[in-house]
Every structure is written in structure tokens, then in C-alpha cells.
Homo-oligomer: A and B are copies of this chain.
């Protein structure tokens, strides 16, 4: 028995889809409420300012993702005890939930990640919400890596994380330039193919700077 969707969610769904395509400034409240088949005033009534709608869109799935990713990382660390977790498993834990949802989570999730891809390169909008939810996880992730590579240089470590972040988020954007560049050789939507390659690519990048635990 699926009850009728509440107005709040109708608005968030519509906003999510539109923000993904045209960005925050490229979408008007009337476009959102029209798509949601709802009166424009309800957006203000339920959320307040336009930016608050955007924040609500971000928040909704960030909570889910955050729980999932922390869990995966913890599992991976626990499994390896008393040794530090292997690097490629840490990176897999960091990326898997994201790519999986992006690939198999349906249209809503795909839109959500498209927004993240924009925001990650545009700090003014990501703002508090994103930092609040993703920075703690990033720190946890970096701690896990450090446990694996105790002699790692701080700056090296953070830049490597930065590169990972960039490679990952560009993938979310769903750009089809890959397709064009490869003359159609790549099915850009097959995110399993991405995951298979992203993890070893990034792992190798990290290892270029630091010898992992157990190797000399």
C-alpha cells in the first residue's frame, strides 16, 4: 500500500531533476512547482527560501549515503584486523556505494550525483551541507589510508585524495564526451566498467607516493 506522495517530496523530486540539468541558478521555483504539479507558494511554505530547497535536496540522500559508506569502511577495516585494511579495499569502500547508487539507484540518484558533480567544482553552492556530511567521511577515509601507510606525507596524502575526488565526481556528471572521444567504443553508462578501472587507477596513484604496509 503505497500512500500518495507528499507535497514535500514531490517538490524535492522535481527540484532534484531540474537542478541536475541546469544548476541552481538555471532553475526557477515556478519551473520546479510546475513539474511537481503544485502551487508555487508551496515551495516557500514548506522550505522557505530557494536555497533551502536546494539544501533539502542535498540532505535527503546525503544521510543515506553517509550511513552506507561509513558502514562499508568500518566493515573493511574490521575484516582486516589486526592488520590495516588493504589500500584497494579502502578505495573501493570509498567509491562503491556512490557508483552503485549512481548506476542502479534509478533516475533520482543519477540526478543527485549530477548535482554533486557540479557542486564539487563550485564551492559557493555546496556550502555547509556538503562539508558537514562528506568531510567527516573524507577524514575517516584518510585515517584508514594513513593506518595503511604510516610514513605517508601529509600533503601528498591530501592531494591524492583530491585527485580521487575529481576523477570520481567527473564520472558522476554523466558527460558523454568519453563516448565522442572514443568514437563510440565506450558505453559511458556502464558504471561497472568505471568501477573496475577507477579503483586500480587510484590505488596505483596513491602507491606512487607511499609504500603500503608490509612492503618493506
Contact status of A138 and B181, CB under 8 A, knowing A23-B122, A26-B24: yes
Contact A181 B121 (CB under 8 A): no
Residue count of chain A within 8 Å CB distance of chain B:
60
Complex CA distance for A121 and B175, rounded to whole angstroms: 7
From B25, B122, B163, B201, give the contact of A208 (CB < 8 A). Answer: B201
| A169 in contact (CB, < 8 A) | yes
- Inter-chain contacts of A178 with B (CB < 8 A): 158-159, 161-162
From B117, B164, B206, B208, give the contact of A121 (CB < 8 A). Answer: B117
> CB within 8 Å of B: which of A103-160?
117-118, 120-124, 131, 135, 138-139, 142, 154-156, 158-160
- Inter-chain contacts of A209 with B (CB < 8 A): 197, 200-201
> CB within 8 Å of B: which of A163-216?
163-173, 175-178, 180-182, 185-186, 193-194, 197-198, 200-209
- Inter-chain contacts of A202 with B (CB < 8 A): 163, 205
- Inter-chain contacts of A122 with B (CB < 8 A): 23, 117-118, 173
- Inter-chain contacts of A168 with B (CB < 8 A): 166
From B135, B170, B205, give the contact of A177 (CB < 8 A). Answer: B135
